[in-house]
Amino acid sequence: MRNVAQILLLLVGLSSGLVGCMAPIPMAEKTAGVVLPTTPVADSNGKKAATAAVASEPSQALVVLTEAAAAVPAEVAVDEASAAAIVEPPAVQLLGYSIQVGAFSRQDNAERLAQQLSDAGCDAQAVETDAGLYRVRFGDYPSAATARAEAERLQRQDLIADFYVVAPQTAPLLRQPEPVLGLRHELVVTAQRFLGTPYRYGGMSEKNGFDCSGLTLTAYRLNGLELPRSSGEQYRVGRPVPRAQLRPGDLVFFAISGSRISHVGIYVGDGRFIHAPRRGKPVAVSRLDDSYYRKRYVGARTYL
């Protein structure tokens, strides 16, 4: 009987300990100051950067989130980490707010204004609308107020007349029901518009001509994305993509002489790419399996 009594006392003690360990945390302590739905967080440029849980007391949020993470089985945590590694962010940033001016029926008038603004340091480009008119767009501003202030400054200098501020959300990347697929199509269509444009070293416009990286930069910029200026830098910031997995809108790179990246084109599908070849040769379509380019092919990069 003495042994039975000891066992009973031991069981009672264990039961009390279990109840103590499993005692629920008061709801006020679990949720005080914590808003669990994720909320967009803006970076210093006013662009959407990430989502995060918001808490008035960071230490409380840390406790709640740490406890929740501890309850996730190890195999689930591993799967989530693998998924996070697969879903990579775009290699290039969306443009911010921009300024749009003019409504020209003649492309050369739009190009003339774009050149005047570029000479003033605005890096402007003529954009053809669906209605067949030409407008001029420039700028990459962190907010609508900043863009408006710059436009008003240019008005005071009589460089522009009426204007309106274009929000980042109007870029094709955010308009399409299938964002990446839609953007890839837009990039190819934009590049096709420039077929036949003369080559010009340092050129970045249909009127004045393109060099190879000026063409790729312009096609991306007109679709709301910003690339570096040189082919070497464009190669450096992109994510590698095997040749067998190339998709329209990816960029293909070549070392024309030596081992240094010196040429780039926009892949359009079926082994073809659009590029500004060299002096005396206008923007054209070439094939990757052409012997000249096959020997000089270095690799491809994606930004989407």
Question: Where do the domains of the chain lie?
Answer: 92-168, 171-304
Question: What is the torsional sign of CA 143, 145, 149, 152?
Answer: positive
The total of other beta-carbon atoms located within 10 Å of residue 288's CB is: 18
Contact 55, 34 (CB under 8 A): yes
Confidence bin at 130 (pLDDT 50/70/90)? low
Active site residues: 212, 263, 275
Lowest mean pLDDT among 79-88, 147-156, 169-178, 205-214: 79-88
Exposed, middle or buried by CB within 10 Å (0-12, 13-18, 19+), for 101? buried
The arithmetic mean of pLDDT across residues 217-239, rounded, is: 91
Domain 171-304 CATH superfamily? endopeptidase domain like (from Nostoc punctiforme) (3.90.1720.10)
Q: Please give the Cα distance from 284 to 135 (Å, whole number).
A: 25
Give the residue carrying structure tokens 């070497």: 232
Q: Please give the Cα distance from 97 to 102 (Å, whole number).
A: 17
Check residues 134 and 55 and name the one with the higher pLDDT: 134
The arithmetic mean of pLDDT across residues 20-26, rounded, is: 35
The CATH fold assigned to 92-168 is Alpha-Beta Plaits (3.30.70)
Convert the pLDDT of each residue in 74-105 to its tens digit: 333 333 333 333 344 455 667 788 898 887 88
Tokens found for residue 65: 């989130």
Confidence bin at 181 (pLDDT 50/70/90)? low
Contact 112, 136 (CB under 8 A): no
Exposed, middle or buried by CB within 10 Å (0-12, 13-18, 19+), for 215? buried
